[in-house]
Structure 1
């Protein structure tokens, strides 16, 4: 389990975006005054000689490890940029709001950052559903937005100011369908989807299509909704379908519980999934029930590439833990934004958008990034296996 800096945890409680209530107007979101963040901007106008960036993440709620990992990755990227002189002599500072993992909170935070704080760019969110809500505001305000980990194709379809540094669900779904057929030699797979998650539904749709195209059979589809805690009925139904594996493209918060309950009802086949599994919390929640399962991801800390190992060393020194893929991609997103700022003639929305869109062969920790015409990153994926209570690298799949 990662160890965020103690002061960071204390300050996260100050960063809650107000929930809308019918009886009264929603309170404005409060910026995070984070003691553990070297680049956090204090409330009010940014200091003279600085460039203000906005960040939105799930700093509290069920996916808090994602938001904290992203916060750490972005902060590390901006610290390095400032140590190297910033952008044309100006230091970079970031104002952070908590989405709580909720689309409505993400949209409110994006509105505040754009309309009141006057940020030059937005970084975040991890979840596709929250990023889509934010993207509407960023596109309308002509403020570039880069999401580190939102893999739904619908995110960048929101407009030409919206970018991502991760691969998209069609590629991730293809990777796991191909791996299931060609590497694991599976013939029959069932699918269990979170029907309230754009990420989960999108990944399930592609896996269903591609697994059948590769000659496999989908023996059935079951679904649940975010917040559910009892999956036994769906898992019992799946058990009766007699699959050789179950594809579960959910987030770690659900997958760990699903794994335990699958074993409880006698469903003992491997589980397969996507990058939403990537959190140390997964193994705490699922324990040995996850052994022998596989998921796609953006990077592996086992990669001997000096770029990866150098980042690991810096991250461990700062936060005392091995970074997950969210931290890595957030670091890449922050560095890519800084690179675009240096190439742009100024930090106006159109100029910065054009510079980001022109990104080619950017050396990210999670792989070289090329942005295509849809503003999506074209890059490799890795497949990981749960073994001995941790994720072990299996193979790399190139686009």
Structure 2
């Protein structure tokens, strides 16, 4: 069957399975079960809930596949590694799902991924960017880029676009996501010709960053890269400005949250972070991005779509496309179809799954101006 190249085509296939004969007696086979494990409580709950909103929006648009209803089985992984593994185990062994969506957070995906591998059930990560999530995995995929790509893009932007030659690092040493991103930024920045003048650390849950920020001010970097989650990142920004720091601060995709401005206040002015290539106000929006934006606002009046919602939407969309091409809801068939995904048009651009089960795409750059989140441009790493 010719592979779908547009959202319209996939929507049609989801309902009517064009190009492949639907199962005989499909209605008698019961629903196709898709599991969802996301952090709906705990540290990462806001991001997890946004991704679930995107999954549910896609499910509302595409409620059937192969002539059968799709049933979402949602489990809260509670922002906890052990709970993430237990959630995937439950979805496979108790709920008998055909495929799994999730999760937000690389450390959670690493824990859940081991269980998915043992259970031979395909899973599609949403915003888990650590390369180890899919490394050596047969059944784990993702709709996001990976941290080497993101870290290199951040370094490329500050060195080439902003002309910054000296950088500092401030990272959570207890978080896989932060450690990985900081490492990839440092490697790329130095390769471009930049100098790392300070490399400082903190632990998850810390509230006072005065000592680290004071040292950073002393070392006089042009920019400080801090791959933090939005709550801690907002605190760092506020304390940096209170101490009189003049360096620019740059974060990564975990800072892409509507509450960043709310928590950081005036301290977010000039803050930069990488993001996935979607924004409700981005220039030159594709047809698929326009469609997603329209259906989001129709379902959520007055609430702007966040890129995490687009990632959740994409994960559901990708799985249904794989099921349709495989003409099967069997985990092995879906796994094989996912691995063959090429040039699928989505709100985040053309999506192909590469040999390591990752999605490669440009990296967006956000800057905060006058209390507003502004999508500046896209960067391809050097």
TM-score (norm 2): 0.89
Equivalent-residue separation in structure 2 for 1:302 and 1:339 (angstroms): 27
Equivalent of 2:280, from 289, 292, 301?
A: 301
Q: Distance in 1 between matches of 2:270 and 2:196?
A: 20
* 2:306 counterpart of 1:324: yes
Aligned mates of 1:113, 1:100 — CA distance in 2: 15
* 2:42 paired residue number: 61
| Greater length-normalized contact order (CA 8 Å, ≥ 6 residues apart) | 2
Residue deviations 1:325-367 (CA, integer Å, cap 9, x gap): 1101110111011000101132222111000111000111111
1:168 is matched with 146
Give the root-mean-square deviation of aligned CA atoms.
1.3
2:361 to 379, 387, 396: 379
Name the structure 1 match of 2:53: 72
Do 1:135 and 1:158's aligned partners in 2 also have CA atoms closer than 8 Å? no
Q: How far did 1:234 drift?
A: 1.1
1:141 aligns with 2:119: yes
SS in 2 for 1:315: helix
Q: Which residue of 1 aligns with 2:184?
A: 206
Residue 327 of structure 2 aligns to a residue whose secondary structure is: coil
After the TM superposition, which residues 215-294 of structure 1 pair with which residues of structure 2 at under 5 Å, given as runs?
Answer: 215-294=193-272
Which stretch shows the higher mean deviation, 130-139 or 56-65? 56-65
Whether contact under 8 Å (2:66, 2:327) holds in the other structure is no
Q: Please say which of residues 160-169 and 309-318 is displaced more in the overlay.
A: 309-318
Kindly state the Cα deviation for residue 62 of structure 1 after the two structures are TM-superposed.
2.2
Runs of 4+ in 1 over 6 A off after TM superposition: none
- Determine if contact 1:195/1:201 at 8 Å carries over to the other structure: yes
Task: Tell me by how many angstroms 1:48 deviates.
Answer: 6.0
* Higher mean C-alpha displacement, 367-376 vs 342-351: 342-351
Shift of 1:181: 0.6
Structure 2 match to 1:15: none
Q: Distance in 2 between matches of 1:158 and 1:331?
A: 26
The equivalent of 1:363 in structure 2 is 345
Q: Are 1:165 and 1:332, in contact at CA under 8 Å, matched by a contact in 2?
A: yes
Deviation, 1:90, is 0.6
- The answer as to 2:322 corresponding to 1:340 is yes
8 Å CA contact 1:132, 1:158 repeated in 2: no
SS in 2 for 1:157: coil
Alignment of 1:391 with 2:370, yes or no, is no
Unaligned 5+ residue runs, structure 1? 1-46
Unaligned runs of 5+ residues in structure 2 are: 1-27
Which structure 2 residues correspond to residues 108-187 of structure 1 after superposition, within 5 A? Answer: 108-187=86-165
Q: TM-score, normalised by structure 1?
A: 0.85
3-state SS of paired residue (2:138):
coil
- Work out whether residues 248 and 255 of structure 1, in 8 Å CA contact, stay in contact via their aligned partners in 2: yes
Output one character per residue of 1:151-201: Cα deviation in whole Å (capped at 9) or x when no partner: 100000151100001111111111110111111111111000111111111
Tell me the matched-pair count. Answer: 350
CA distance in 2, matches of 1:372, 1:307: 21
